[in-house]
C-alpha cells in the first residue's frame, strides 16, 4: 500500500490556485474525484495504480499528465520541485507530479491545458495484428509460416544491448546477432578493411562486450528498442517483433555520412559472405545534410546498394506537428519570418537554430537576420548574404547592448549534386527577450526553408516553427518535412500511425495518423513518404545498460539479470515494423529485387476510413497507405523472379546456350562460393572444377549463376539446352 497523505489536498489546491489560467477537462476532474475515492486510510492500493497513470520512478510515485504550454513555461523550476518534465514537443510536454505528503504551493506558470495522461495498452502485439503480420507468422493460407529466417536485418543506431534475450532464438539458447561494429570503441580489433572502431563476431565476443559504448547519446536504448521491433522474439512477452527469427548486424555509428556509408558496406560484406539477403533499417535522419531531393551522396549510395539487392528502410521524420517549413515564390520582393528557438534550458547540448534553404537552378537568393524587441522594433540586422557571392564561410555576430547574437553561413550558388543554390544559416541567441527573424530576398524563383534545432554535437533533428511577428512577416507550415536519407528515391520512407485494436467492450480504437509523423512530398514534388506503419506507443525491448529514462511496462529475467520493455513513439518505431516485414517477404521469396520489395509493399497497402481514398501518386501523409504484411507476403510468393545479371562484371560465362560444361572467365581469383538459381527461384550450391561447372544434369531452361567475389555477389544468366 502506498502512503499518499495530503496529495489530493495539494493537487486540489493546485487546480484551485491556477483555475483561472489552467484548463482541465471535465472528464479529468471526474477521474481525479474517483481516484480520491479509491484512497482508503491515506493509502493507494495496487488496483488504483494499475487503473490510473501512477508510476514508480526512482523510489517515488508520480501521477502523469500532459500539458499544453506557452512561452512562460519554466521547466527548470518544476524540476527543482521534484516534478519530472519531458522535453517539449512544440507546445506539448509530459509532466509527472509526485504523490507527495507535503503541502506546498504549485505556482506553475505557462500551462494553458492540463490533462491526465490516458493509460495506453501494450501495443507491439497489437502491431502484429494491425499489420496482419500475425497471419504471416501462422502461415494462414500460405505454404508455411514465415518469421524472417535466413535474412539479415542490419540496424544502424545507438544503444544496443548484445545480451538481451529478445535477440536470442525462440528457445533462448543462441544469439541471433551475427556481428556488431561499435565505431566509437577505441580498444579492440577493427573490422577488416576499416581502421576504426571494434568489431564483435560470435556469441562469446558479443556477450563479453555486453553493449556498445557510451557516445554522444550516452548509454542509449534506441537501437535495442528499434531492433526488437524489427525482429525481437519477445522473450516470452507478447511484444514479439515482425521477423523474430531473422539474424542481426548492428552498427553503432559515428554521426557523419562517411561513417554510415562504412556501416552499410560492412553489413553488405557480411550478408554477401553468408549468402543472405539484407534489409537495413535507419531510424534516424537529418535535414541539414544532403540535398533533400534524392540527389545527395547518401541517396546515390542507397541506389547503388539497392541495385545489389539491399533493401533500405528509413523513418520519415517526426516533424508533422510543427510549422518548421517555409516556401516563397519571389517576384523581386522580401520574406521575413520569426525563427523560434528551442529552449536552452531543455537540452545541455543546445546551440541554436539551423536554417537550411534551397532554391531553383539558376535563381539566386539572399538571406540574413533581423533582431527585434518584444514591440517588434528593429534593434539590429545583418547584411544580406547572396548565394551568388558568398564564396567563403561566414562566422560572425551582432551585438545588442551586452548581448551577442552569433551566426554563421555556408552557401553554394550551384550545389555540385543538383546545381541548385543553397544556404545554411545557423543562429545562436540565448536572450529570449529578442525576436530573431529570417530575412530573405530574390528576383524570382521558389525557395524552401527549414528551421531545425542545432545541437553542439551536430545531431539536432527536430523542427521549430517559423512564426508570424507583426506586419510584413509570415508564419511557416508543416509541409515538405521528409528528412535525409528518407527522401532518397530508393529507400522505403515510413510514416507513423497509431495501431488499431478492439477494446474489451468490442470498440475499435486507434488507427489515426500520428500527429508527429512528417508530411511530404519532397520539395521537388516527388511523393514521400512511401508507406505508413504503427509508430505510437510501441512496446519493445530496453537496453539493460542504458542510462536513459523510461517507464517499464514489463520485465523478464534471463541469466540472472532483469531485462525491461517500455513504450516509445516515433517514426523510429514505424520504420523497423516495415524492415521486419521486408525480411518476411525475402524469406518467402529470396529472389525479389529490392525494387520489387518496395513496389509490392506499396501495391498491397491497405486503405481505411483514416487514410481515405489515396490517389495513384500516393498521399503526403500516408504514402500508398497502411502496410499489409499478409498481402505483401502472398504477392511475393506469387511473383517468380530470376535476378538480373550484375552490371559491370569482370567475367562472363561460355558457351551460352550450354549443354554440358559451363565455363567462366575471372580476372583475378576463383570465387569462394558458387550457386545456381533455377526459374522457380530455387538456389543450390555448385562445385567449381577448373573454372567450370557441370550442368549436364539440368533441365532445359533459363538459369542464373552467382559467384562470391571479394565479398560481393555477382551473377550472370545462361540458357541450358539438351
Helix axes 571-588, 594-603, angle to 10 degrees: 110
Q: What is the pLDDT of residues 88-147, one digit of tens each?
A: 644 556 676 777 533 333 446 788 767 665 443 334 566 888 888 889 999 898 888 999
628 and 659 co-located in one domain: no
User: 622 and 507 in one domain?
Assistant: yes
**Model confidence at 268: pLDDT above 90:** yes
| One domain for residues 28 and 146 | no
pLDDT number for residue 393: 85
How many distinct structural domains can be found in the chain?
4
Same domain, 270 and 169: yes
The 10s digit of each residue's pLDDT in 65-79 is 767 778 788 878 887
For residues 453 and 492, membership in a common domain is answered with no
Of the pLDDT bands very low, low, confident and very high (cuts 50, 70, 90), residue 286 is confident
- Determine the average pLDDT of the residues in 366-392: 95
Structural domain ending residue among the three candidates 83, 116, 149: 116
User: Among 638, 671, 687, where does a domain finish?
Assistant: 638
| Overall average pLDDT of the 543-552 stretch | 91
Contact 290, 524 (CB under 8 A): no
Q: Among 336-350, 483-497, 601-615, 695-709, which stretch is predicted with the lowest mean pLDDT? A: 695-709
- C-alpha to C-alpha distance for 321 and 89, rounded to whole angstroms: 8
What pLDDT score was predicted for residue 36? Answer: 61
Do 387 and 353 share a structural domain?
yes
Give the CATH number, domain containing residue 306. 3.40.50.200
Residue 475 lies in a domain: no
Q: Which three cell numbers stand for residue 587?
A: 524469406
| Statement to judge: residues 83 and 138 lie in one domain | no
**What is the rounded distance in angstroms from the CA atom of residue 667 to the CA atom of residue 707?**
13
pLDDT of residue 79: 79
Asked if residue 348 and residue 386 are part of one domain, the reply reads yes
Query: Which residue, 580, 608, 638, sits at the end of a domain?
Result: 638
DSSP string, 616-653: TT-BTTTBT-B--HHHHHHHHHH---PPPPPTT-S--E
pLDDT of residue 227: 97
Asked if 511 and 613 sit in the same domain, the reply is: yes
Residue 490 reports pLDDT greater than 60 = yes
The confidence score (pLDDT) of residue 599 equals: 94
Task: Tell me which residue range forms the domain holding 99.
Answer: 2-116
pLDDT band per the 50, 70, 90 thresholds, residue 716: confident
Interval 337-360: pLDDT, tens: 999 999 999 888 899 999 999 999
DSSP single-letter state for residue 513: B
pTM (2 d.p.) = 0.74
Q: How confident is the model at residue 257 (pLDDT cuts 50, 70, 90)?
A: confident
Among 234-248, 325-339, 452-466, the minimum mean pLDDT is found in 452-466
Does 480 reside within a domain?
no
Q: Is a pLDDT exceeding 50 seen at residue 254? A: yes
Q: For residue range 624-661, what is the model confidence (pLDDT) as tens digits?
A: 999 999 999 999 987 654 444 444 567 788 888 889 88
Question: What's the pLDDT score for residue 310?
Answer: 94
Closest CA to 136 of 721, 604, 602: 604
614 and 660 in one domain?
no
Task: Report yes or no on 356 lying in a domain.
Answer: yes
To the nearest whole number, what is the mean pLDDT of the chain?
Answer: 84
C-alpha cell at 128: 502484429
Q: Is residue 544 included in any domain, yes or no?
A: yes
Q: What confidence score (pLDDT) does residue 697 get? A: 87
State the DSSP code for 463. Answer: B
Strand residues in 87-231 grouped as ranges (E)? 92-98, 111-116, 151-157, 177-182, 198-201
Residue 482 belongs to some domain of the structure: no
Could you tell me if 469 and 506 are in contact, meaning their C-beta atoms sit under 8 angstroms apart? no
Q: Which CATH number belongs to the domain containing residue 696 in this structure?
A: 2.60.40
pLDDT computed for residue 20 by the predictor = 41
pLDDT at 47: 47
Over residues 196-225, the mean pLDDT reads: 90
**pLDDT score, position 289:** 67
Q: Report pLDDT for 492.
A: 98
Q: Which helix (H) or strand (E) holds 205?
A: helix 203-209
Within-domain flag for 25: yes
pLDDT tens, residue by residue, 440-461: 999 999 999 999 998 876 666 7
Amino acid at each position: 500500500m502506498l502512503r499518499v497523505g495530503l496529495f489530493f489536498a495539494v493537487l486540489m489546491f493546485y487546480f484551485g490556485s491556477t483555475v483561472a489560467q489552467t484548463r482541465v477537462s471535465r472528464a479529468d476532474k471526474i477521474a481525479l474525484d474517483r481516484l480520491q475515492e479509491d484512497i482508503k486510510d491515506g493509502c493507494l492500493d495496487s488496483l488504483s495504480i494499475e487503473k490510473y497513470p501512477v508510476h514508480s520512478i526512482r523510489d517515488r510515485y508520480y501521477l502523469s499528465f500532459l500539458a499544453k504550454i506557452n512561452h512562460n513555461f519554466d521547466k527548470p523550476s518544476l524540476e527543482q520541485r521534484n516534478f519530472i518534465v519531458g522535453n517539449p514537443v512544440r507546445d506539448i510536454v509530459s509532466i509527472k507530479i509526485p504523490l507527495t505528503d507535503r503541502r506546498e504551493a504549485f505556482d506553475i506558470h505557462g500551462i494553458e491545458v492540463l490533462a491526465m495522461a490516458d493509460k495506453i495498452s501494450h501495443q507491439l502485439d497489437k502491431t502484429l495484428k494491425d499489420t496482419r503480420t500475425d497471419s504471416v507468422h501462422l502461415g494462414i493460407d500460405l505454404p508455411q509460416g514465415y518469421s524472417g529466417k535466413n535474412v539479415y536485418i542490419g540496424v544502424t543506431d545507438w544503444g544496443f544491448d548484445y545480451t538481451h534475450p529478445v535477440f536470442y532464438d525462440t528457445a533462448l539458447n543462441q544469439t541471433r546477432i551475427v556481428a556488431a561494429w561499435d565505431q566509437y570503441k577505441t580498444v579492440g580489433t577493427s573490422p577488416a578493411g576499416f581502421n576504426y572502431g571494434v568489431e564483435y563476431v560470435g556469441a562469446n565476443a558479443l556477450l563479453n562486450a555486453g553493449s556498445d559504448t557510451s557516445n554522444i547519446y550516452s548509454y542509449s536504448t534506441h537501437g535495442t528498442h528499434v531492433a526488437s521491433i524489427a525482429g525481437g522474439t519477445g522473450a516470452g512477452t507478447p511484444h514479439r517483433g515482425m521477423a523474430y527469427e531473422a539474424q542481426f548486424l548492428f552498427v553503432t555509428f559515428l554521426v557523419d555520412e562517411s561513417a554510415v556509408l562504412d556501416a552499410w558496406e560492412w553489413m553488405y560484406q557480411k550478408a554477401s559472405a553468408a549468402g543472405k539477403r539484407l534489409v537495413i533499417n535507419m531510424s534516424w535522419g537529418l535535414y541539414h545534410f544532403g540535398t533533400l531531393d534524392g540527389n545527395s551522396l547518401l541517396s546515390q549510395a542507397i541506389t547503388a546498394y539497392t541495385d545489389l539487392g539491399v533493401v533500405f528502410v528509413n523513418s520519415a521524420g517526426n516533424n508533422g506537428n510543427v510549422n518548421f517549413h517555409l516556401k516563397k515564390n519571389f517576384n523581386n520582393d522580401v520574406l521575413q519570418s520569426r525563427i523560434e528557438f528551442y529552449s536552452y534550458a531543455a537540452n545541455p547540448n543546445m546551440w541554436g537554430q539551423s536554417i537550411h534553404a534551397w532554391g531553383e537552378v539558376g535563381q539566386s537568393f539572399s538571406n540574413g537576420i533581423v533582431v527585434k524587441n518584444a514591440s517588434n522594433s528593429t534593434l539590429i540586422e545583418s547584411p544580406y548574404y547572396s548565394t551568388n557571392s558568398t564564396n567563403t564561410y561566414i562566422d560572425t555576430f551582432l551585438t545588442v547592448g551586452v548581448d551577442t547574437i552569433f551566426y554563421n553561413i555556408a552557401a553554394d550558388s550551384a550545389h555540385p549534386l543538383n546545381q541548385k543554390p543553397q544556404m545554411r544559416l545557423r543562429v545562436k541567441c540565448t536572450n529570449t527577450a529578442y525576436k530573431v527573424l529570417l530575412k530573405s530576398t530574390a528576383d524570382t524563383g521558389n525557395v524552401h526553408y527549414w528551421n531545425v534545432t542545432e545541437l553542439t554535437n551536430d545531431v539536432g533533428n527536430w523542427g521549430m516553427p517559423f512564426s508570424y511577428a507583426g506586419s510584413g512577416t509570415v508564419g511557416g507550415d508543416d509541409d515538405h518535412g521528409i528528412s535525409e536519407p528518407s527522401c532518397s528515391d530508393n529507400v522505403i520512407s515510413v510514416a507513423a500511425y497509431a495501431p488499431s485494436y478492439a477494446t474489451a467492450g468490442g470498440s475499435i480504437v486507434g488507427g489515426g495518423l500520428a500527429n508527429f509523423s512528417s508530411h511530404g512530398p519532397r520539395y521537388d514534388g516527388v511523393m514521400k513518404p512511401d508507406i505508413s506503419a504503427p509508430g505510437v506507443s510501441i512496446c519493445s525491448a530496453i537496453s539493460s545498460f542504458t542510462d536513459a529514462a523510461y517507464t517499464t511496462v514489463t520485465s523478464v529475467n534471463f541469466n540472472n539479470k532483469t531485462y525491461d520493455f517500455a513504450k516509445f513513439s516515433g517514426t523510429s518505431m514505424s520504420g523497423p515494423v516495415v524492415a521486419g516485414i521486408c525480411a518476411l517477404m525475402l524469406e518467402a521469396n529470396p529472389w525479389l529485387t529490392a525494387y520489387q520489395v518496395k513496389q509490392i509493399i506499396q501495391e498491397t497497402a491497405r486503405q481505411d476510413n483514416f487514410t481515405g481514398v489515396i490517389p495513384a501518386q500516393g498521399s503526403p501523409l500516408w504514402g500508398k497507405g497502411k502496410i499489409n504484411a499478409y498481402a505483401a507476403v502472398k504477392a511475393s510468393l506469387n511473383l517468380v523472379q530470376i535476378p538480373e545479371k550484375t552490371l559491370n562484371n569482370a567475367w562472363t560465362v561460355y558457351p551460352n546456350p550450354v549443354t554440358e560444361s559451363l565455363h567462366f572467365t575471372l580476372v583475378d581469383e576463383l570465387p569462394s562460393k558458387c550457386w545456381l538459381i533455377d526459374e522457380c527461384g530455387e538456389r543450390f550450391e555448385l562445385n567449381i572444377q577448373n573454372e567450370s561447372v557441370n550442368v549436364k544434369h539440368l533441365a532445359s531452361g533459363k538459369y542464373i549463376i552467382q559467384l562470391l567475389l571479394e565479398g560481393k555477389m555477382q551473377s550472370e544468366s545462361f540458357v541450358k539446352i539438351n
